[in-house]
Amino acid sequence: MTSSVLPLAGQPADLGRALWSFAAVVALLTVTPGLDTALVLRTSLLDGRRAAWGVTFGIQLGTLAWGVLTAAGLSALLAASQPAYTALRWAGAAYLVWLGSRMLLARRRRGDAGDGGGVQGPSGPGPGGGGFWRGLRRGATTNLLNPKVGAFYVAMLPQFIPDGAPHAVTGLLLAGVHAAEGLVWSALLIGFAALMGGFLRSPAVRRFLDRLCGAVLLGFGVRLAVAGD
């Protein structure tokens, strides 16, 4: 697709400008509070750093996958197929509702148990944890089942690919910029959680965070389910 932003197509300087422009756009998206931020912060505070890094890398693997799919045209095909988009939207909504409900139910189970033995330090997983690999699966699934991510890439990515540039490679490079910014932001969130660990891992705060994050995920799931487009 011809870029209206980059008039000198195919030149290295064009790619550099595209990378910087795309980085500025997705930086705003990255730091805006949303599903990814809530999931990373909640996992870091309640399940530990290993699980939080698993979620972080899972989310960024999903970002890279959406970038490649968009550059290859597969994401545009999904956006053009209403039944396929609707199926993915409902799958993503069901997963978010299930995940949010589990967090709310886990909070109630800990409350019924009096929180006895349920609080662990930052190096071990808390209730509903499971370490790095479980976090990786959770982050990747959350990202890949969110068609709004694909819609964003379909709308934005082609505008930053210079004429004559290989689409798959350039799309992966641009998605890599997005993933790198996501890693930096997640590292700050995980560092904040470690810094505030003693207070934020108290039983009362853990219950509040499970309630809050569970409600956020449920809200995202319901919004995704009722979205008309």
**Structure confidence at residue 81 (pLDDT):** 65
**Structure confidence at residue 139 (pLDDT):** 92
**Structure confidence at residue 155 (pLDDT):** 73
Q: What is the dihedral of CA 155, 160, 164, 165, to 10 degrees?
A: -100
**Structure confidence at residue 173 (pLDDT):** 87
Dihedral sign computed on CA atoms, order 118, 120, 122, 126: negative
Q: What is the pLDDT of residues 175-199, one digit of tens each?
A: 899 999 999 999 999 998 888 766 6
Domain ranges, ordered by start, for the chain: 55-118+138-226
Q: What is the pLDDT of residues 32-61, one digit of tens each?
A: 778 888 889 888 887 888 999 999 999 999
User: Are the C-beta atoms of residues 98 and 6 closer than 8 Å to each other?
Assistant: no
